[in-house]
A and B are shown apart, each in its own frame.
Chain A
Amino acid sequence: DGGITQSPKYLFRKEGQNVTLSCEQNLNHDAMYWYRQDPGQGLRLIYYSQIVNDFQKGDIAEGYSVSREKKESFPLTVTSAQKNPTAFYLCASSPPLIGPLGDTEAFFGQGTRLTVV
């Protein structure tokens, strides 16, 4: 089945440690995204990538890093510089628009719950 796979589903990290969240998609989508969800807040964009070997910061990129070496994979590293890393992290991908004003939607993975202990 085509889709987006995030792993692990739950992750615990000690303060001061870096941790990497995995995101793999087999939808053949060019664009991939990382969002963070906190209680009472919407999804906030961390990083996004439109093509392999290229990515841009989103609204809350500080303390995070990403790579896009393969079209299918967009891992997110939560570094020790991220002050409040405990959150629900969502990876998404989207196909290119058909024409400049085509319809599009983002497809989401099941999420990773990261807890700092």
Chain B
Amino acid sequence: DQQVKQNSPSLSVQEGRISILNCDYTNSMFDYFLWYKKYPAEGPTFLISISSIKDKNEDGRFTVFLNKSAKHLSLHIVPSQPGDSAVYFCAASDRLTDSWGKLQFGAGTQVVVTP
């Protein structure tokens, strides 16, 4: 049973516009969430994270929003750039139970930024 879900397998956005990626989770014990970016045939690279005690975390063009009551988080990329074209994975961790950072991943969203 998948505990982290990314229901949009793909997203196409124009360069300069905002990309919004969504992620839902079912396990209420998750208290730490991460976004990873992945290019084909490469390993994922860490993008941004958020702890459950916050509802927003910003790093440059990337902002992650967390709605705990809805068990939902989103990643905003603004403005979108061609180099942002990649697969984005949402991941979650239960740091009390799995204190060593064992992560549950969503299925990923393929983002394509068009000129």
**A-to-B contact residues, CB < 8 Å:** 4, 6, 9, 30-31, 33, 35, 40-45, 48, 50, 58, 88, 90, 92, 94-97, 100-111, 113
Contacts and interface: CB of A to CB of B under 8 A. Distances in A.
- Give 5 nearest A-B pairs by CB, closest first: A108-B43, A42-B105, A94-B101, A104-B101, A43-B105
Contact of A101 (B9, B42, B51): B51
Contact of B103 (A6, A88, A106): A106
Contact of B102 (A33, A107, A109): A33
A103 B107 contact: no
B43 A31 contact: no
Contacts of B106: 42
Interface residues of B, number: 30
B108 A105 contact: no
Interface string B1-21: 010101001000000000000
A95 B100 CA distance: 8
Contacts of B103: 43, 45, 106
B92 to A, nearest CB: 11
Nearest to B47: A105
Given A101-B95, A103-B32, A105-B46, A45 B2 contact: no
19 contacts: A40-B107, A42-B2, A42-B4, A42-B89, A42-B108, A45-B104, A48-B102, A90-B43, A95-B101, A97-B95, A104-B32, A104-B100, A105-B34, A105-B46, A105-B49, A107-B46, A108-B36, A108-B44, A113-B41
A11 B41 CA distance: 13
